[in-house]
Amino acid sequence: MNRYSLLATGACALFAAVPAFAVDHPVTVGGAAGLVYTPSTLTINAGDTVTFTNAGGFHNVVSDAGAVTTFRCANGCDGDGAGGNGNLSSAAWTATVTFPTAGSAPFHCQQHQGAGMVGTITVMPASGSPTIGTDETSLSGTAEAGATTSTTFAISNSGTADLTWTADTASTDCATPDSVPWIALDPTSGTVASGAPAITVNVTLDAGSLAVGVHSANVCIHNNDPAHDPLALPVQFTVTTPDLIFKDGFDG
C-alpha cells in the first residue's frame, strides 16, 4: 500500500512528481448539496490528482482501510510536512491528493460516514492504456462581424496504448454535445499511437451569422482514455463591429 502524496492549496506540500498530462479532478465536500461528496465516484489515471474543497460543514476526507493510497485531510493532511492535519474542520479548506498507483481508494468523512458521506476513487493503470493530453486548456479568437478567424490545438498521447478520438461541439456541456454552427473542426477524428507525435486540429471560428459580442461554447474530445472522456476545451469568441471609417480605402 502506498502512503499518500499530495499537493494542497496553502496547506499541503508536494510529495510525488506528477507525470506529464496528469489531470486534477475536483471534488466538493458538503455545502448546499448536504452530507455528500460531489462527485462521490471518480475514475482517474495513475498520477492524477484529486482536489477536495470544503463548501460548508464540519468535515474531513479520510481513506478507508485497504485503500491503494492512504490520506486524511482537511486543514492540510496528516504527515504533509507543512504542519497540516486531517482533523474535522468547518473552515473553507482545500487539499489535493496524488494517486500514483492503480487500484481502489474508497473514502469517507469521519463525522458523517454513517449518514452516507462516502465516495470511491478508481485509479486506472498508467501503463497499458492511452493518456490524452492537449497543448491548450481553452481556445479563443476575435473577428469582425461577418469575418472568420482560426486557431489550433494539439492532441497528444503519453500512455502506452493507442489513443482514438473524435471531436465535436457543445453549447453548454460535453455530456450532451450539439451543433455549434460557428465552430468548424478539421480533422474531427483520428488515432495517436503511443509515442507518436501529437495531432494538430484546426479550429475555424465564423462570425458570419453572429451578433457583436462574446460567444461561448465547448470543443469536446471524446476518446478511449476512460479517466478523461470527454475532454472539454472551453471556447470564447469575440465578435467586433467592423471598422467602416476606411472601408474600401475611403472615409465613411
Per-residue pLDDT tens digits for 196-232: 999 999 999 999 999 999 999 999 999 999 889 999 9
Report the SS3 class of residue 31: helix
What would the pLDDT profile of 39-96 be if each residue is shown by its tens digit? Answer: 999 999 888 999 999 999 999 999 999 999 999 999 889 988 888 889 999 999 999 9
On whether residue 246 sits in a domain, the answer given is no
Predicted confidence (pLDDT) per residue in 103-117, tens digit: 999 999 999 999 999
Q: Do residue 107 and residue 152 come from a single domain?
A: no
Answer yes or no: do 142 and 233 share one domain.
Answer: yes
Higher local confidence (pLDDT), 17 or 20: 20
Quick check: is 76 in a domain? yes
Total count of domains within the chain:
2
Q: pLDDT class for 126, splitting at 50, 70, 90?
A: low
Judged against a pLDDT cut of 50, whether residue 19 lies above it is answered with no
pLDDT greater than 80 at residue 248: no
- Give the percent of the chain with pLDDT over 70: 87
In a domain, 96, yes or no: yes
Q: Do 219 and 156 reside in the same domain of the chain?
A: yes
Q: Is residue 219 part of a domain?
A: yes
Cα–Cα distance measured from residue 152 to residue 233, given in angstroms and rounded to the nearest whole number: 12
pTM of the model: 0.51
Domain CATH number, residue 27: 2.60.40.420
Residues 116 and 38 placed together within one structural domain of the fold:
yes
**Residue 6: per-residue pLDDT:** 43
Q: How many CB atoms lie within 10 A of CB 118?
A: 18
For CA atoms 189, 151, 172, 29, the dihedral sign is positive
Domain boundary among 78, 97, 124: 124
Domain limits for position 180: 132-240
Res 245: pLDDT: 62
Domain CATH for 140: 2.60.40.10
Confidence check: pLDDT of 14 > 50 = no
Q: Is the pLDDT of residue 2 over 80?
A: no
Q: Of 149, 75, 126, 108, whose CA–CA distance to 228 is shortest?
A: 126
Instruction: Give the residues across from 98 on adjacent strands.
Output: 5, 49
Give the pLDDT band (50/70/90) at residue 155: very high
Q: Is residue 245 part of a domain?
A: no
102 and 172 assigned to the same domain: no
Output the average pLDDT for the chain: 88
- Cβ atoms of 153 and 199 within 8 Å: the answer is no
Same domain flag for 67 and 180? no
Residues 145 and 224 grouped into a single domain: yes
